[in-house]
Structure 1
Amino acid sequence: MKILIIEDDNRLASLLLRALHENGYEADVAYDGQMGQKLALNNDYKLVITDIILPKKDGLEVCKEIRRQKSSLPIIMLTALGTTDDKVEGFDAGADDYLVKPFEMRELLARVKVLLNRYANLNSNTASTLIYSDLELNLNTKTVVRNNQSIHLTPKEFKLLEFMMRNSERVLSRTEIAEKVWETHFDTGTNFIDVYINYLRKKIDKGFDTKLIHTKSGMGFILLNDESEA
């Protein structure tokens, strides 16, 4: 398991490198975004840990380019910025997880393990297409179609929809969504899950007579083909 660290803070980069080595991972370090992107795209890494604020090329742009060329490479974003808007921006760029500095090293290691396991399970999953009602999600091409209309989703929107389709007709709490899609504990002080549900609802349901994404007040959200729920 080889991991790439993109971090311009020498002290933090050294701490990350040592922690990963002590836990059985191989790791390389890039100290600017430009070199980090080059290494990520030209080598067989299993996961990338990147800061946002980097010399030469910021982490958001690096993340977008990695996601464009290597859609199945998991990315953890590190940043000192922790507002809902900052998190949404990071997830929109393609990050799988978001950790605000300062953080506990054991928490980072736990998230690394979860992401590596999740992607390994996804890669071993033989089912390539999920279908619910007139909605179709292709796991190989990362495309979504509803009633023959192509729908463009960001990487995080795609993962949220995938989770909802795998658990269709079941109410999903914000806590469960946070743990299963974002691999993090739900912070009641932020509303980023509601933000993403609204993003998804506008793309999946807008313009269609039958609404599929519904809110269950006080409980969570459900993917359900039931016009009476709209």
Structure 2
Amino acid sequence: MKLLLAEDEKELSRAVETILTHTGYEVDVAFDGEEALALFYERAYDVIISDIMMPKLDGIELLENIRRQGDATPVLLLTAKAEIDDRVVGLEAGADDYLPKPFAMKELLARVQALARRVQGYSQPELKCGNVILQMDELRLTARNDVQLSLQEAALMRLLLLSSERPIKGRSIVEKLWADETEEDKVELYIAYLRDKLDSIGADIVIAEERDEDGTAFRLVKEE
């Protein structure tokens, strides 16, 4: 399984990377939040371990960016602060677990293994509708043939698949995926990308849209 470790304390980072690698995990390391976010955009991970206090982008901001993409990868937050308020902030931002420093490596491993089991046993690496399959772990869309998706295309496709045939308002998509965007033009752009890709793989579903005074909504329907 592949892990992302974001920790700016280099000695601690090396120690954690060593124990995780020795246990059998493949580990990518980042020393600040911006580097971690760049790796997240490039690759798919099974579990993310992130310190809260990091330069450039802190762990909460990193977590918020990850969740904003519609990504549900389990995140374990590390912090030197043990106050309840810090734990609440992390959990409210979407963290799956919380481990205050200093910690025993044995406890860190136990937490990571628990999150990894959750990924294997309870996550939905594949979502289906009609003849279309979305493989979130590989960011791949498959029907009669397949195509690679960007992370944001996959996040949007995931929202559409999870809602089945229930329409999703454009502004709701903005809130879930691009909370820093004020316009819905980006939704229209990515809907167009996905329509092209569904057509290219021979999908038997299409993205329909419904317009009213409250704006535009989108849903997946069987192609006529």
TM-score (norm 2): 0.55
Distance 2:104 2:40 in 1: 25
Structure 2, unaligned runs of 5 or more: 129-158, 164-224
Distance of aligned partners of 1:106 and 1:55 in 2 relative to their CA distance in 1, 3 Å threshold: same
TM-score (norm 1): 0.54
Distance 1:19 1:121 in 2: 24
Distance of aligned partners of 1:124 and 1:99 in 2 relative to their CA distance in 1, 3 Å threshold: same
Q: Matched residue pairs, number?
A: 136
SS at structure 1 position matched to 2:123: helix
Give the structure 2 partner of residue 62 of structure 1.
Answer: 62
* Higher mean C-alpha deviation, range 63-72 or range 96-105: 63-72
Runs of 4+ in 1 over 6 A off after TM superposition: 125-128
**Displacement after TM superposition at 1:71 (Å):** 2.6
SS at structure 1 position matched to 2:19: helix
Distance 1:50 1:76 in 2: 6
SS at structure 2 position matched to 1:103: coil
Q: Which structure shows the bigger proportion of residues in strand conformation? A: 2
Give the structure 2 partner of residue 117 of structure 1.
Answer: 117
Task: Identify which of structures 1 and 2 has the higher relative contact order when contacts are C-alpha pairs closer than 8 Å and 6+ apart.
Answer: 2
**Displacement after TM superposition at 1:53 (Å):** 0.7
Structure 1 vs Structure 2: percent identity of aligned residues?
A: 42
Distance of aligned partners of 1:124 and 1:102 in 2 relative to their CA distance in 1, 3 Å threshold: same
Structure 1, unaligned runs of 5 or more: 129-137, 143-230
Give the structure 1 partner of residue 86 of structure 2.
Answer: 86
Q: Read off the aligned partner of 1:25 and give its amino acid letter.
A: Y
Q: Read off the aligned partner of 1:22 and give its amino acid letter.
A: H
Given that 2:46 and 2:119 are in contact with CA atoms closer than 8 Å, whether structure 1 keeps it comes out as no
Give the structure 2 partner of residue 154 of structure 1.
Answer: none
Give the structure 1 partner of residue 105 of structure 2.
Answer: 105
Given that 1:41 and 1:70 are in contact with CA atoms closer than 8 Å, whether structure 2 keeps it comes out as no
Distance 1:127 1:33 in 2: 30
Distance of aligned partners of 1:11 and 1:70 in 2 relative to their CA distance in 1, 3 Å threshold: farther
Answering whether residue 2 of structure 2 is matched by residue 5 of structure 1, we say: no
